Amino acid sequence: MVLIARPKHNTAKKGETTECIILAKLVELGYECLMPWGHDRRYDIAIDDDGQLIRIQCKTARYMEEKGCIDFNTAITYARVGGKPHIRKGYRGEADYFGVYSPEMGKVYLVPVEDVPIASSATLSLYPTKNNQQKGVKWAKDYEI
């Protein structure tokens, strides 16, 4: 057998892989999914729910072993030229859910955009906190699909 070299890993490939895995999970669950044309949309997948579109922005989670959680971005940073400061923009009003894929956990989560900070990142806890805090903790199991 001849092995071919694997393509180099880059952020675009990581994003495409995440979108494919989230789409496959949604289709497996019986959702009617639509994909917008082009890459400059504020959502990656839409679900047709009896004529109402539910917009999903796909994100790849980072596993944070020391904290027992996964973390994902809830905003995008737009670079500006000419020494102007970068702009961070959240997704409120432009997407309804984050579809979050955790490669380390091998799981997909569907998180309402309204449940997370506007222009930063969000954390989903996998295990009980060390101080047993419950208030304000977003549990990954509650969003898993």
What is the torsional sign of CA 101, 107, 113, 114? negative
Pick the CATH number of 32-142 from 1.10.20.60, 3.40.50.620, 3.40.1350.10, 3.40.630.10: 3.40.1350.10
pLDDT, one tens digit per residue, over 4-56 is 666 666 777 888 999 999 999 999 999 999 999 877 788 999 999 888 999 99
Please list the residues that pair with 72 across neighbouring strands.
122
d(C-alpha 94, C-alpha 23), whole Å: 19
Kindly state the greatest CA–CA separation across the chain: 55
pTM: 0.83
